Structure 1
Amino acid sequence: MPTTMDTFLKFPENFLWGSAVSGHQIEGANKHSDWWHWELATPEQPESGKAVDYWNRFEQDHELLAAMGHQAFRIGIEWARVEPRKGEFDRTAIENYRRMLASLRRHGIQVCLTLHHWVLPRWVAEQGDWTNPDTVEQFLRYVEFIVDELGDFPDLWITLNEPMVALLAGNISGDFPPQRRSIPAFRTCSRNMLRAHAGAYALIHKRRPDARVGIAMAYPYLEAWGTPGLRGWYERRTEHFTRTLLFRAWDRSVHTGRLHPFFGKGKIDGLEDSIDFCGINYYFRMSLRFSLRKWNKGFLDIDSIPRGVETTDMGWQIWPEGLAHILSEVWARYGKPIYITENGIADADDQKRPGYMTGHLKQIHTALQEGLPVEGYFHWSFIDNFEWKEGFSMKFGLVEVDPADPELKRTPRPSAQLYSRIIRDRGFTSS
């Protein structure tokens, strides 16, 4: 029962409520991609297999989205499906994507379309992926094809999802394909992905002048642990460096059109101010703690959890307050409308998800009250999916699916019902 101290947090009438997914993580059988090949070639890596078979079951899922009251759906196109071989576009694949998007339109659900969510066609990977300058023009050819074929459907366009995550995991830590550990490759790939974004932004606007185009960037909240003395100084310095590496260098490059020194020198044509909105993917706080034992990690322990802080099944700190800082920083940098393009929690028991969701929405509501133009929220994710290196072990979905179930039955979790009520009421009661 609400108490006299409870407050109803009302969101604007035009605030957009939705959820998000990516192609490779839910479609299944993305056989012509670099990730599919890597999964099969790496013994310790889980395989995506049929995932949750969204490729064939999308109508069922869209009916469920509509029943749950979602107003928008962030969905991805897989380049590897559309162009499985160099220069050969698959009409069967593009028609299935057309049916997907038309289905969303019939159900009254707006479309946020992501053009690249980490996964490449295998033929692109084999020619050197983003280290090869030809990949930029090939990506733009693919984007042009998508805009010409499907450009009537998207309400929002996202050129790249979390580019710095893919760049660092693929070229510095070696955790993701192509598993390099090369600073020169990182710099080359970064420049080419910035060129790809700038070209895609211009191309979409040439074909669709009224389009709204952005990037979905990962923004963790970074915080020095606070160790006294020289160790604390080191923590603060590495906090600044890490924040710059993870998102400020990229953001500065997009905002000014000039490459941050992390990426090289010079200016990229068309890059300056090449977003119409800011996409923020926010999940957790990361505490940076000096540790001699972590000499091979730059003397940094990033896994320590401050006392009293809850964590997700991924081991990530639950820290809604960090979103307020990120919103303020991104607004100050760009002065553009903002969408929360991903925010969610791995929580198999669905015990922490309700508080996680309302805790972060409370921060968004406060930002709105302070005048920040946050225009929508996409919860990650609509449905349990293939979570990259963790496979299907991490449960991010509002809707539960057991990948071992031959029927792949969809079961909304209690948190899905909570979210539906929030959407219906355009807000929620917070104590």
Structure 2
Amino acid sequence: MVLGNFPNQFFWGVATAGHQSEGDNRNSDTWFLENVTPTVFAEPSGPACDGYERWSEDLDLVAGMGLSAYRFSVEWARIEPAEGEFDEEALAHYEAIVDGCIARGLAPLITFSHFTQPHWFAKRSAWMDDEAPALFARFCGVVMDRFGDRIAAAVTFNEPNLPQMLAWAGLPDFVADLTRATLDAASAAAGVAKYRSGNVMVAEDFDAMQVGMTAAHTAAKAAIKQRRPELPVGLSIAISDDCAAEGGEATRDAKRADVYDHWLRLARTDDFIGVQNYERLWFGPDGQLAPAAGAVLNEMGSAVDPASLGGAARYAHDVSGVPVLVTEHGASTGDDSVRAAFIEPSLAGLLEAIEDGVPVLGYCHWTLMDNFEWVFGYGHQLGLYSVDRTTFERTAKPSAGVYGAIVAAQRSAVSAGV
């Protein structure tokens, strides 16, 4: 496949998240939920990938692939471990990562809330608390005051719509039962009525959580813009490329209305919409269709389909009207040959969308290295690098070379003025 040229000003990046890679995020809600009994998490995060200590090495890996951007999260639970108390060491740590990115020619793309929040915030029922938007905006302001003058883009929330998406995934009833039991156990252990989290959620809280996160996004954006009006600010959502077979239009549209459209409409006043795409799903008159016979499946059981990325970007832009930033895209598979073969045709589909008029600011592959994948623990692999679970040594997979070669060709074409 001969891949055409992407726009000259284009972020070529890779994405990570603090809790999934740093390790020992002990003051966070997710750490607390991992360690209650019962818990919906397959295993605790523990030391994760030791990324908090090995961040410089990891930036070298990103730069070594020839990329131009690095998306990572700042952990609210580390920066404000107790309400109103901001940790100087944590702020200095993330500032060093920002400066390390710039020294290596990487644009820092910062996520302010990648699912995890402080334990004290969860004790207040998280985003259902009336003061949540102001508390989050205060945190964003502290971060911006410290190193916001050097970042390239701000993502307020990561996948605030994921609970609604999972509700459409046909998960067995025991998952919802275990989720409820986890939150009940956490509430009892914390001594509060409702211990709540942004990524472990029961259905009756969906609406109130959405209201709170919507207000928090608006407040956070205002705090960020107050300090840097020109900085691009948006949020990212999980978005499948949902397609309708004959008679499936109503079901597809119902899912879109339930899972994506609130956030896409909210993004109409933002600078971009972050798209996080992992699958294309088909719907018929009786609901979601099974993958085609012989399809290559990812670890979630859906088909690995390179066409999904371009379709998701088109839909997100059609509804929001703002530029798209692909903040995550990848394949959950232990077979790296699938990942390596998946990247280029996916980018070709994204380029077709760009050529058809969809403004796309950049592409971040998920993820740099195999890490803690939330309730699935360490059982799912999405990294361009593997990580030894004992020594934490990072080892490049063939897909890292494939992605690096694509980016090298693109950046070379820009340098040559092609």
TM-score normalized by the length of structure 2: 0.86
Which of 96, 100, 114 lines up with 1:99 in the alignment? 96
Amino acid of the structure 1 residue aligned with 2:35:
L
One-letter amino acid of the structure 1 residue matched with residue 263 of structure 2: W
- The 2-side partners of 1:167 and 1:35 are apart by 19
**Structure-2 change in CA distance of 1:129 and 1:323 (3 Å):** same
1:357-368 equivalent positions in 2, closer than 5 A: 357-368=343-354
Quote the Cα distance in structure 2 between the aligned partners of 1:303 and 1:126.
40
Shift of 1:8: 4.2
Contact 1:118 1:166 in 2 (8 A): no
Aligned to 2:193: none
Q: State the alpha-carbon separation in 1 of the partners of residues 155 and 266 from structure 2.
A: 17
Bigger mean CA deviation after superposition, 238-247 or 25-34: 238-247
Residues 45-194 of structure 1 aligned to structure 2 (within 5 Å) = 45=41, 46-166=43-163, 173=176, 175=179, 178=196, 179-183=200-204, 185-194=205-214
Among residues 349, 356, 365, which one is paired with 2:342 in the alignment? 356
Distance 1:371 1:239 in 2: 24
Alignment partner of 1:29 is 2:29: no
Is 1:202 the counterpart of 2:217 in the alignment? Answer: no
Q: 1:125 is aligned with what amino acid?
A: A
**One-letter code aligned to 2:258:** L
State whether structure 2 residue 59 is matched by structure 1 residue 38: no
Partner of 1:263: none
Give the 3-state SS of the residue equivalent to 1:377 in structure 2: strand
RMSD between aligned residues: 2.3
Tell me if the contact between 1:400 and 1:410 (Cα under 8 Å) persists in the aligned partners. yes
Question: Which residue identity lines up with residue 181 of structure 1 in the other structure?
Answer: V
The reply to whether residue 241 of structure 1 matches residue 254 of structure 2 is yes
Name the CA distance, whole Å, in 2 between partners of 1:42 and 1:247: 33
Aligned mates of 2:267, 2:6 — CA distance in 1: 30
Matched, 1:421 2:405: yes
- Return the letter of the residue paired with 2:202: R
Shift of 1:149: 1.1
Q: Percent identity?
A: 31
Residue 388 of structure 2 corresponds to residue 375 of structure 1? no
Structure 1 runs of 4+ aligned residues shifted over 6 Å read none
Shift of 1:99: 1.4
Query: Aligned-pair distance for 1:355?
Result: 1.9
Aligned twin of 2:385: 399
Q: Is the 8 A contact 2:249 2:284 kept in 1?
A: no
* Aligned equivalent of 2:234: 214
Distance in 1 of aligned mates of 2:252 and 2:131: 35
Kept in 1, the 8 Å contact 2:251–2:284? The answer is no
CA distance in structure 1 between the partners assigned to 2:263 and 2:323 by the alignment: 18
AA partner of residue 49 (structure 2): V
**Structure 2 letter corresponding to 1:63:** D
Aligned length: 385
- Equivalent position SS for 1:9: coil
- Structure 2 alignment gaps of length 5 or more: 168-174, 184-195, 413-418
**1:371-400 CA distances to partner (integer Å, 9 max, x unpaired)?**
322121100001111000111111110011
Relative to the length of structure 1, the TM-score reads: 0.84
Whole-Å separation in 1 of the counterparts to 2:289 and 2:353: 29
- Given that 1:114 and 1:160 are in contact with CA atoms closer than 8 Å, whether structure 2 keeps it comes out as yes
Q: CA deviation at 1:289?
A: 5.8
Q: CA deviation at 1:237?
A: 2.7
User: Which residue does 1:408 correspond to in 2?
Assistant: 392
1:76 Cα deviation after fit: 0.2
- Name structure 1 gaps, 5 residues minimum: 1-5, 227-231, 256-272, 292-299
